[in-house]
Amino acid sequence: MLIAEAPVQIINVDWAVAETSPVSGSTSLLAQIGNTPLLDLSDFAQQLGVPAGVGVYAKAEWMNPGGSVKARAALRIVEEAERSGKLAPGKILIDSSSGNTGIAYALIGSLKGFAVHLVMPANVSRERKALVKAYGATLIESDPLEGSDGAIRLVRKLVAEQPERYFYADQYNNDANWQAHYTSTGPEIWQQSDGRITHFVAGLGTTGTFVGTGRYLKDRQPSVELIAVQPEDELSVIEGLKHLPTAIRPGIYDDTLADEQLPVTAEAAWEITRRLSRQAGLFVGFSSGGAVAAAIEVAKRLESGVVVTLLPDDGSKYVSLGIFD
């Protein structure tokens, strides 16, 4: 039986009274990164068993230029490298990516005028390959059977062979990744929830979103609970998320930060992704479904509270994978 349609309310943030500014950019388009709306999914969540006294909200991160939450970190990484001189004229930005960060790098490179080389697993969706090429980036494909870890190993090999040619952005180990979320995503969530947030739920990929946002929220209110979401095991493939026990561990990850590690099955992620599209009008990616599935699980335990998660991207980059058929 289908769940009745649930209206989605939108909460915008007024940066005129915010404590920090969105990440600045060198063009008007880059200045639009950040300041995404917070969507109220409470009605949708309640129809899945969440108590009426619990609010469930999600940041609509596909509204960033480049179409994902990764635009925040990519811009911060690039601008820090420009300030330090590591990304100097003539240098090529190179990094590994499963898609979204690479698309953001390619977009920023097209605007700022530097070359971008991206190492991506050969089995990423056609849409992601097409987007990085559309922005003018060079795509280097790694072994599809090795996933994102294989892409990391290949990019390290390329940089070691020609270190003078590249600026290695290294999103998994670059502090600018989590700092982007400490200075933008965290403050936005705090203001948009009027400081009422009690639980923050986010998936682990590079871990930058979870670490940066989580650190900010803990600094504002130590009682906020941070729930880290990852696939149930290495066989549960959820695009954009890593099963950290069996993957190359991101250097920026702080394993003391999470109050709880919450595993999610691929089946649960897919089920919620489908429900969000058909019953809440939100066409989102697989990792978004996983994050909302985890947020609903957390919310079901509560009698009151405000649970906030993120929708990292929309579903447009995954259509060719057939998961929406």
pLDDT digits (tens, 9 = 90+) for 177-204: 999 999 999 999 999 999 999 999 999 9
pLDDT for position 311: 98
In tens, the pLDDT along 2-49 reads: 333 333 444 544 433 333 344 444 448 999 999 999 999 999 999 999
Domains: count for the chain = 2
CA angle 311, 315, 321 (to 5 degrees): 130
In this prediction, residue 322 has a pLDDT band, given cuts at 50, 70 and 90, of confident
pLDDT tens digit sequence for 84-109 = 999 999 999 999 998 999 999 999 99
Type of residue at 97: S
87/75 Cα distance (integer angstroms): 13
The verdict on pTM exceeding 0.85 is: yes
The arithmetic mean of pLDDT across residues 110-116, rounded, is 97
**pLDDT computed for residue 325 by the predictor:** 77
- Please tell me whether residues 131 and 277 are part of one structural domain: no
The pLDDT of residue 233? 86
Say what the pLDDT of residue 20 is: 38
Is the residue at 4 inside a domain?
Answer: no
Class of residue 280 by CB neighbours under 10 A (exposed 0-12, middle 13-18, buried 19+):
buried
What pLDDT was estimated at residue 11?
A: 52
Residues carrying an active site annotation: 70, 287
Please indicate, yes or no, if residue 206 is contained in any of the structural domains: yes
On whether both 302 and 155 belong to a single domain, the answer is no
- CB neighbourhood size of 223 (10 A): 8
Please identify, among 122, 140, 168, the residue that sits at the C-terminal boundary of a domain. Answer: 168
pLDDT single digits (tens) 227-276: 999 998 888 888 889 899 999 999 999 999 999 999 999 999 999 999 99
* Residue finishing a domain among 168, 186, 218: 168
User: What local confidence, expressed as pLDDT, does residue 3 receive?
Assistant: 35
The answer to whether residue 314 scores a pLDDT higher than 90 is yes
Q: CATH number of the domain at 197, please.
A: 3.40.50.1100
pLDDT at 2: 33
Q: How confident is the model at residue 240, as a pLDDT?
A: 83
Answer yes or no: do 237 and 257 share one domain. Answer: yes
Mean pLDDT, rounded, for 286-295: 97
Among 168, 202, 234, the domain-final residue is: 168
Its domain, for residue 267, covers: 9-68+176-321
Residues 226, 214: contact at Cβ < 8 Å? yes
Alpha carbons within 13 A on the beta-carbon side of 88: 5
Check whether 287 has a pLDDT greater than 90.
yes
Looking at the structure, tell me whether residues 184 and 127 fall in a common domain.
no
Same domain, 152 and 194: no
Q: Are residues 265 and 207 in the same domain?
A: yes
Do 136 and 205 belong together in one domain? Answer: no
* Residue 79: both structure tokens together: 């601008």
Do 285 and 191 lie in one domain? The reply is yes
Residues 28 and 157 in one domain: no
Q: Are residues 181 and 33 in the same domain?
A: yes
Structural domain contains residue 3? no
What average pLDDT is seen over the chain? 91
